[in-house]
Homo-oligomer: A and B are copies of this chain.
Amino acid sequence: MTIQNDYLKEIQELKAETTPTQRATVPSLEKILYTPISVLDHGFIRVIDYMGDDSAIVQAARVSYGKGTKKKTMDRGLINYLMRHRHSTPFEMCEIKLHVKLPIFVARQWIRHRTANINEYSARYSILDKEFYTPQPDVLSSQSTTNNQGRGSVLKGTEAERVLMLLKRDAEQCYASYEEMLNENELGDPRDPSKQGLTRELARINLPVSFYTQWYWKIDLHNLFHFMSLRGDPHAQYEIRAYVDVMLDIVKEWVPFAYEAFMEHKVHGAYFSKSGLDVIKRMISGETVSQETSNMSEREWGELMVKLGK
């Protein structure tokens, strides 16, 4: 990741300034405020602002005049209860604002989640940096033969090298053309005075979706959980899961009780269909059940066995 020096200076200025507030404050989150956390080869997540803490969830659930409950353990129990029973609105009372740098193809998956506020860096208005995503060799995989949306085994030697060469070569050529078409030097003057330069909003159409964009993204905790649950799922693309991993660490610092309840009830829990539940009940009562006697398709049975760790 490259954060240029003047950006680092701006960040340090922000971190240096401290003001007193009566609002709910989370010291462990304050520590990492503004600082970029690396994701992939050029990406990052920065926490810009946050509203609320664990206690604010309880406070909202109780529509109370003061803080949450009197005791930390009561807050914890109530948060667990709210998560368990799908009482989602109190979690909406916490909000977080992130500055994210991410490849365009990741941004395109990300933005499918509509319940968030977004301000994206505009390539109609500004010029994009020469930064594009290149996968590390260990995630450079073949197509899965069993799952159309999945990855199979890692590519071997020559083929991997060839792929990385192609990705790099094409991205660089596209960017060189982008610069040539723009015809602007660093001062905004024409590089070649005999040319007019193509408008930015058209020049950028030459850039592959591996190029990095960035945005401010603001979301409430309930919808962040929903986002992380879907995009942190093993079926989601590796590159977006890399961002979810960082967000999970952030949420753990921010609202530890809510994080704990989320892991317990959403991430490490499992959902069973009526048929799956029937199989479980029969198994518990000592019966030996097979796919043939289960009333489930081969595929669903396979999914059930994975959930049961078999």
Contacts and interface: CB of A to CB of B under 8 A. Distances in A.
Interface of A: 3, 7, 10-11, 13-15, 17-25, 27, 30, 33-34, 48-52, 56, 59-61, 63-67, 77, 84-86, 89-90, 92-93, 95, 97, 99, 103-105, 107-108, 111-112, 114-115, 117-122, 124-126, 133, 135, 140-144, 148-153, 155-156, 159, 163, 166-167, 169-171, 173-174, 177, 180-182, 195-202, 204-210, 214-216, 218, 220, 230, 235, 237, 263-265, 268-277, 280-281, 283-284, 286, 297, 300, 303, 307-309
Contact of A51 (B49, B200, B209): B49
A66 B144 contact: no
A60 B121 CA distance: 9
Given A89-B117, A108-B108, A208-B206, A218 B149 contact: no
A118 B124 contact: no
Nearest to A7: B65
Contacts of A24: 49
Contact of A202 (B10, B141, B281): B141
A269 B264 contact: no
A119 B89 contact: yes
Contact of A21 (B23, B52, B86): B23
A163 to B, nearest CB: 5
Contacts of A114: 114-115
Given A63-B215, A174-B208, A270-B271, 17 more contacts: A20-B20, A20-B30, A85-B235, A95-B95, A95-B218, A104-B108, A104-B209, A105-B204, A105-B205, A114-B114, A122-B149, A124-B149, A135-B202, A143-B198, A148-B200, A208-B209, A265-B271
Contact of A156 (B56, B118, B196): B196
Given A119-B60, A153-B196, A18 B22 contact: yes
Nearest to A20: B18
A112 to B, nearest CB: 7
Nearest to A121: B63
A276 B272 CA distance: 12
A241 to B, nearest CB: 12
Given A93-B216, A95-B51, A308-B284, A140 B202 contact: yes
Contact of A90 (B21, B119, B181, B300): B119
